[in-house]
Amino acid sequence: MRRLTVRHFDLDQTLCCGQFFDWTSEDGGYRIHASGRDFHAAQQGDSLIIEGVDEAFARGFFALDHDPEAMLKTMPRDPSLEKAFKAFGRLRLLRQDPWECLVAFLLSPVSNQPRIQRNLLALRHATGLEPENMRDEARLRRLGVGFRASFLVSAADVGAGKETLRRVRGVGDKVSDCVMLFAYGDYGSFPIDVWTRRVLRRLYGRQSPDKALRLWAREHFGPWAGYAQQWLYAWFRQEER
């Protein structure tokens, strides 16, 4: 067990904001499966208590080297972003494993956060997320993933390589942008989905095809646009509910 001192960090925001799904609540904290590890994390004020992984991994995974307040300062100021930051500015974009991240977001089309999470846990229990156990489409379908089963089979075939991502069935602009942002460290990436589309239309007066939106957002928010995306996504979603 290790206790790390953290600043401007919130574990709940970080895990519940929709970037990562392989966790369950346990003992006042979270049981987390990431990068092939199985560990526990809990927060008490400025302490992050980890059990089952070394400190170096935790610092990397939770991106404790990031400074959200410094990022905000690099962005054009506006009231929406300020509110979103106030509500969710203590989340960190986790450094995810590309394969695990790809699998998770292949489950996301026309789904929702609770279901993605449920599907992913079922998938891990059934296959260990090993590609060789993801080649039987009918078996995957029985886990409740629906039409996304064929996406997983394709992913098992092609893998999650940065250059070959787009060859995976089920990987379009949005899923690709998510993997680039959450696993490959492309922090300027701004994935466009139903929620960020609404944010850009209603809060920023932008209405154009997704391709143009993602470029505009990347340009507008700058090199840390991915963080702006996550703050806005989490905040706007909460507001709308």
Binding-site ranges for DNA (CB under 7 A): 17-19, 108-116, 141, 144-147, 150, 169-176, 178, 191, 193-196, 209, 229-230, 233
Question: Cβ of residue 59: shortest distance to DNA, in angstroms?
Answer: 22
Nearer to DNA, 79 or 114 (CB): 114
Q: Which contiguous run of DSSP H or E holds residue 44?
A: strand 37-44
In this structure, the strands spanning 29-34 and 23-26 are: antiparallel
Nearer to DNA, 52 or 146 (CB): 146
Nearer to DNA, 39 or 190 (CB): 190
CA distance 119 to 51: 25
CB 150 within 8 A of CB 106: no
CA distance 74 to 211: 24
Q: 170 φ, ψ to 5°?
A: 95, -5
Question: Cβ of residue 20: shortest distance to DNA, in angstroms?
Answer: 8
Nearer to DNA, 5 or 24 (CB): 24
Question: Cβ of residue 56: shortest distance to DNA, in angstroms?
Answer: 26
Question: Cβ of residue 44: shortest distance to DNA, in angstroms?
Answer: 26
CB 29 within 8 A of CB 188: no
